[in-house]
Every structure is written in structure tokens, then in C-alpha cells.
Amino acid sequence: MTRTAHTFAYARPSSLTAAGAGRTLSLETAGGLTPAGADPHPQFFAGFLSAPQAAARALLAVADVAAARYYRRTLPASLDPVVTGNGDRLRFESFSGCCGVYARLDVLPDGLRGADTGHGTTNVDVNNPLREALSRLSGDDPLHLRVGPDEMAVTTLDGPVVEKKVPLPERWLRGFAESQAATTGFDLRAELTAAEAARFLRSLPRTAVGGGAASGALWVVPAGRTLRPTTRPVPGAVCLPGPERLAALQRVLRHATGLRVYGPAPTGAEPTASAWEVALPGMRLTLTLSPEASRGFSGEGGVLEALATDAAAEDAELISVLLAWEPRIDPADLAEQSGLAVDRVRAALTRLGTAGRVGYDIAEAAYFHRELPYDARRAERHNPRLVAARALLAAGAVTLDGPGTALVASGERRYQVRESGGALSCTCQWWADHRGRRGPCKHALATRMALRAATATSATPSVSPAPSGAAR
């Protein structure tokens, strides 16, 4: 696994302190991006939270996921959550160290009082003393939230006094884009009351079955006001892969007002991703689970088609200038502004997602603008299948062999790729194992690039001479 060193530089540790009749939660920020450009310590909010206890526990849940590994748990995992200010709300996001769980807390306009919300994205310090203080928070005293340094601190800062250097896996960066690509195909599958949500979530295992690193997928189906386990994906069922990975939701159950469950329509017995959203006063806390506990989002391949097209790259450049830290981005509106078709706008948004520049809100079925405060372009440069496909194309390993078919030379083997109904199949082992459920293999991806290049240059589908000795 490729790792890079990522440094969080904070002016001081985040803290929870007494302030008159209430308390102040000060979340310190590291370097981030704002409409004015890069800022070493941006400020996004200074006001009150409408539901202090619920907000404190929801923030802890996001931090729980950031510090957790649900697979290969002996390896370290510690990344500070990302916060985005979208003008009317705050979004706190994190990924588990194994890249299989994506957490997001949306503090909505009703959850914030007393101040405007800024625009931008940064990391926030969530240290162990702060976690302990938030865990002890009780009562209904007002809680003042400050995200970023106050004005006095801004004038007196003399460089960072707290630095955290952590290994940042490339696959963690890709996880943001892949989870977004997966959730755009989700629909609301079930909705539970607060009481039924608490009863169902408390019945789930806290650890993997048998004490192993991960448990298998379960399926649940709506039954009256609750969810009933089922042994197979019957119509209307939702996959619950690795149910112990929902443990972070236990922190907020006493404050929950309901539970919504999202997922794709089951098309077979294979496990699928799903999203579990706990509604809180003025907030939403959502955990999105990868199809298997041992399978991180980074390898799903849902964004590879968008990354492999030059048109999507050009469209993404155009769409990017229309982003304005909006909390809700409608592809239809962007299509009208840009003059592009809606499907091209969606492909451009997928590509922007690989750079961390947009996310997707399932509850509102809309994208939102953010700018991850690290070099997320590595997600494209270091995607193994994409890199391998481009190498195959550059080596002249793809031979288009009639309409919708190609022969791809890879090592000492030759693979046949066929197109049917717009989808590509391959004779390689990857395709035999996954049947397109985890995106295209490198051979199909290289063929897609070759087909597009051939269409753009001539009506004759030929990219390169056949490799010597290639069988037909």
C-alpha cells in the first residue's frame, strides 16, 4: 500500500471549556481551502448548537470511525475528521482506516444558532482529552461552538504549536470518490421511528461473529415498523454488510428521532453497500458501509470510466468554475449553466469527486462542494487499474478486432474483450470473479480508451497493429 506523510498543523489543541453559564467547544483547524484561497487556520463558525449533547456525541461518532479499523484491526488508524462550511451548514466527514466505513455528520441550519457559517474545507483536531470531555458532557447548558481560531488568536498566532504526522494511504483518498459513486445509485429503502431504530441497532453485534476480523453480510427487509433479518436478498431487502461496523451509531441513539436506510435494489446474492442515517435534532449522522468488511471502497472501480475519458476531464474543468461552495448542487442546474447534457455533467461531477471537490448527500439527492485539504489528485495517479490500462494502451497492447470487440495482450496472455449493450466483458480472471460488479478490469478499461480514441480519429476501429503472435 502506498503511503504519504500528511501533517496536520494546529495553533493549539481543540478543547471543551467552561464559559459563564455554558461551555465552549473550540475545534482548531489545520491548513484548508476557502473562497479566498489557502488559509493556515480558517474559521467557519462561531455560534451556538441547538442540541448540545446530541452534537457532541455525533461528533464523537465521526471521530470513532476516523480512529477505527474494522478489518485488520491491529494496524493503526488515526486521521482527524474533515469539516466543510457550506454557508448554511457544517459537514464533518471521516473514513475508517480500512476504508470500509464512511461517516458524515451534517449540522443543518436548524442545528446552528447565532452566527453565519463560512465556506471552505479543513481538518479539525479531535484529541483524546477532547474526546473524554465530550463524553462527559451532560445537562442542557448552552454549548458555544467555534470552528477555527477566534479573532484574537488570529492576531497572535506565531506558527503551529500542535503537529500530527500520520501515514495517509492512497486508498483512503480514493474512498471518498468511490463511496460517492456508490451512493448516487441509492434509494430510500426503509424508515424507522426513534424507538424502533434504537431497538434494531442495539440488537446488532458489537464485534465480528466468531471474534474474527470481519463478519459476513446480513440482509434485512422492512416488516411493519421495523426491519426483519432475512437469509437472502428478497425484493425490498437491504444489505447490512458487517453489522458490527454500525457500532458508532450507538453513541447517539438516545437523541435519535428516526432512522433511514438507503441502498440499491438487490440484483443477486452478492453483497452491496448501504447507508444508515440517524436523524437528530437539526442534524443527520450517516454511516455508509462497503459491500464487505474486508473490502474497502477504494477498490470498487465505480469512477474508472469517468477517469478514463478526456471528455470528462474537459467537462470537469468547465463545471469546476461553476462550483461556489454550494450546499446543494443540482446536475440539471449545472447543465443549464454550462450548456452540457445532464449525463456529461454527472460524469464531470464523478471526476471532480476523485479530486475531493464534491461529495454527495443521499438525504437530499444532491451533490455539495468541498475541497479536501490534501493532494487528492493522487487518487487518479495511483489507481492501479487505471495506471495499468494506460500502460497497456501506450504499449500498443490493444487491437480492435471488429465492432465492439478487441484483443488485449497482457504479459504472455491474450484476453478478448466484448461490448454488449454499452458494457464490456472480458475473458480474464477478474471479470470471471466479479462480473463487472467492481468496475471494469484493466483490459476492458484499456479497450474503452481505445474505442474512444478510434471514434475520435477515424471511422475505422483500429488503434495499433496486432502484437506479434497474437491469436485470433
Structural domain spans, the chain: 7-87+109-167, 383-457
The pTM (predicted TM-score) of the whole model is: 0.85
**Residues 10 and 130: beta-carbon distance below 8 Å:** no
Asked whether the predicted pLDDT for residue 382 surpasses 80, the reply is no
What are the angstrom distances between the C-alpha of 273 and each of 185, 207, 243, 421?
A: 10, 19, 12, 25
> Helices in 124-209 by DSSP H: which ranges?
128-136, 151-156, 170-183, 194-202
pLDDT category at 413 given cuts 50, 70, 90 is very high
pLDDT above 90 covers a percentage of the chain that reads 48
- The candidate with the shortest Cα–Cα distance to 288, out of 107, 122, 99, is 99
Asked whether the predicted pLDDT for residue 348 surpasses 70, the reply is yes
pLDDT above 70 covers a percentage of the chain that reads 86
Asked whether the predicted pLDDT for residue 304 surpasses 60, the reply is yes
- 91 or 142, which is more confident? 91
**Residues 411 and 395: beta-carbon distance below 8 Å:** no
Residues 435 and 161: their CA atoms lie apart, in Å, by: 51
Asked whether the predicted pLDDT for residue 407 surpasses 90, the reply is yes
Q: What is the mean pLDDT of residues 122-150?
A: 89
**Residues 459 and 400: beta-carbon distance below 8 Å:** no
Asked whether the predicted pLDDT for residue 443 surpasses 50, the reply is yes
Q: What is the dihedral of CA 215, 202, 101, 10, to 10 degrees?
A: -130
CA atoms within 13 A on the CB side of 112: 23
Asked whether the predicted pLDDT for residue 212 surpasses 50, the reply is no
Asked whether the predicted pLDDT for residue 213 surpasses 80, the reply is no
Asked whether the predicted pLDDT for residue 157 surpasses 50, the reply is no
Q: ∠144-145-147 over CA atoms, to 5°?
A: 155
Residues 471 and 270: their CA atoms lie apart, in Å, by: 34
Q: How confident is the model at residue 253, as a pLDDT?
A: 96
The lowest-confidence range among 58-62, 176-180, 380-384, 391-395 is 380-384
Q: How confident is the model at residue 471, as a pLDDT?
A: 38
Asked whether the predicted pLDDT for residue 463 surpasses 70, the reply is no
